[in-house]
Amino acid sequence: MFVRPLCIVLLCLIQGWISLFAAQACAAAIENPELARPKVALVLSGGGARGFSHVGVIKVLEELGVKVDIVTGTSMGAMVGGGYASGYSVEQMQDIILGVDWTEMFALRPDRSDLNWRRRQDDFKGLGSGEMGLSDNGVLFPDSVVPAQHLEIFLRSITKHVSSVTDLSELSIPFAALATDLDSGYPVVMQKDVTLADAMRSSMSVPGAFSPFPYKGRVLVDGGLAQNLPVEQAKAMGADIIIAVNAGTPLGKSKDIQSVAGVMGQVVGILTERNVDYSKSLLTERDILITTDLEGFGAGDFDKAEAIIKAGEKSARAYEKELRRLAVPRKQYLAWNENRMASVKPPAARSITSVKVEGLQTVNPAGVIKSAGLNLEEPVTEEQIAEASARIWAMDDFTLVPYEIEPGPNGTQTLIWRPQEKPWGYNTIRVGGKVSTDFNQEHSFDFLLAHTMGWLNSWGGEWRNEAQIGKDSYFSTSLYQPLGEASPIFVMPEIRFESQRYDWYNGSSHAEATMKNSSLEGSVSLGIEFGKSSVLTAGLGYISAQSKVSVGHINGYESMDDTAAFAELTWRYDTLDNINFPSKGFYLDVEARRYTHMANSADTQVSDYYVETLLPWDWGDGWISLLSAKAGSSTIPGRYPLGGLFNMSGAYYGRYSGSDMFLGRMMLMKRLNQTDLFGFPLYVGGGFEMGRVQEDVLPDYLSDKDLGVWKKAFSAYVAADSLFGPVYLALGNTTDGDSALYFFWGRPLQ
């Protein structure tokens, strides 16, 4: 009989407790609105340059006062999302993106000013920057098309204000980036025990484009392969409501896919879209999915960043009604946003007391430290460390030069570089060459194969073999041996064989015979490097040379043979920014040789010399002028041929050949900034050339009657600085009435 009244009493007590707790919770919510507000996550997808649209979306969120509690991102979404989570404003992110030279970001090698003099000289030979490794397992190829060092330096630069943070949940907004494990294909969350720069870098490692990122024994690639729209990770971080922004590239139509690259891109797109569909299925009615309208923009349109950002802003404004319900009071938002941006401050210079280089198997660490060139007697900034990393990378020994800073004793710090040695090794092959035709009688080519075996010893000895066939053929083998660790002084023994053919016109409009010159020489030089741009050598050698008629007949002449010992001096100075289309810098090449005795010369001693110089001048607005000249004197007949594009344009190659030569050029070109050829810079230009040759080695009665007279030529051209070297379509005309239309691939300014 007491059960029913007891139950009624218990129910009343429970109801009272519930009312009391509800009142307390309501009071707490009024006192602290954050307890009642749901956690909002911003989820940003990958998409290459299309991911710039995320900045436009964030701009709308800021205008509406939407407070973001969590950020997750993949690939370009990781870069933009990480920047926002670390404290950047929309204006700052936009300025960073628009201020980047994306052409340099995707450059295939370091800036030319950072290269050593040997690699700069390779440019004049027409050698490509790509290389293949030779090993016991056969031929090995690089694991990426674009080196990741420029990206590495850029990401460290923009994240320097949070470089000491290794738990990304402690950023102004908790953040996580997504990468993909190359072994398993599973997503890897980059948040704990990682810097923001490394999290971005791993998430942006597009397979085949950038090299994979090593992390805790794993090899990571672009997160888009596993989770391009990381909704699942946002939920795992406690998100109640998600704003997901998808900037991925839609799948193409099979009828429009007409290349291997197109097929590969479509396959990657299929994999990405499938995981994006799964991420979309996790969204609820409370969540907001913004698919940015980027019609006409591709993943590679980095030069259209401003328009893509505006397109993202426009897309987000279509969702203003849904987004407004997530806004907080303006005063509250401004206070939060000001606190979020407070972390973006230049970090103080670091007191680095020691530098270490770890993980090297082949390259000498002492050379790495010397190339870095850091002055530890003064505090070191992040910019100085990044510049030092760039100098180390320019040694051409590493694929990537990451670094870490660890605490040392008594408040000091230790800088640790962990350069990644080339996985294809230091026994490499590179190729180069050029092709020319005047669509009439002149069709020529040169194909060059260069074999380099680097790091023969701890001092950095390098053995180089080169073989070229074609219009001018040669073979050389040389050893570059520094005399000490990272020493600027070196010795270089070399053996070289050359074979050259040239036509003998004798004043006629058609060749009457073809001459062939060949020489075999050996030498040993002692050199000293003055920085990276200048080198001086002095050497001794011996040469055996022959000149003979190979086609046709010349009355009274069969062949000429000679041998001699010689001493030589060379000096090269090269600060050109671009070897094909330079806009600044200077180039000077001086070679002088003194022979002790030549059997076919009346003089007991004979001298040779060669001088070449090039001076570009940038007038602004894409206008560039070039002044260049070359002159030489040789003991070999016909050593210097003139004819061909920019070498007496309009005349056949070798139309004027002699032992003495002078040629001067004046050129003016204009870069067409709005007109590219398949994405490569396009130029138009014209030039004037004046020169002459003389023959002082052959007897007077064999000298071409057309020699010794100053000749003039004019040219006009359109050219592209392509991935595979410069390409020209040009028209040339000489004052002798010769004219030609040229197609030229390679470097014609020789």
677 within 8 A of 711, measured Cβ to Cβ: no
Helices (H) and strands (E) in the chain, counts: 16, 33
Spatial neighbors of 175 by CB under 8 A, at least 6 apart, are 70, 71, 72, 73, 81, 82, 85, 86, 168, 169, 191, 196, 199
Active site annotation includes 181: no
Instruction: Please report, for residues 108, 109, 320, 533, 578, the alpha-carbon distance to residue 113 in angstroms, rounded to integers and kept in the order given.
Output: 14, 11, 49, 8, 9
DSSP string for 366-433: HHHHHHH---TTS-B-HHHHHHHHHHHHTTSSEEE--EEEEE-GGG-EEEEE--EE-TT-SEEEEEEE
Separation between Cα atoms, residue 172 and residue 85, nearest integer Å: 6
SS3 assignment, position 713: strand
315 within 8 A of 295, measured Cβ to Cβ: no
Cβ-count burial 650-673 (b if 16+ within 10 Å, e if not): bbbbbbbbbbbbbbebebebebee
Of the residues 75, 86, 547, 634, only one is catalytic, namely 75
228 within 8 A of 279, measured Cβ to Cβ: yes
Other C-beta atoms lying within 10 Å of the C-beta of residue 635? 22
Of the residues 69, 222, 301, 608, only one is catalytic, namely 222
- The DSSP bridge partners found for residue 470 are 446
**Chain centroid, CA 537 distance in Å:** 31
Left (φ > 0), alpha (ψ -120 to 50) or beta: where does 579 sit? alpha
**Which CB contacts under 8 angstroms, 24+ apart, belong to 474-479?**
474/498, 474/499
DSSP designation for 164: T
Separation between Cα atoms, residue 498 and residue 106, nearest integer Å: 37
Active site annotation includes 222: yes
Separation between Cα atoms, residue 515 and residue 704, nearest integer Å: 13
Helix or strand run (H / E) with residue 124: helix 117-125
Q: What is the CA radius of gyration of the chain?
A: 33
630 within 8 A of 609, measured Cβ to Cβ: no
Separation between Cα atoms, residue 265 and residue 537, nearest integer Å: 50
Residues marked as catalytic: 75, 222
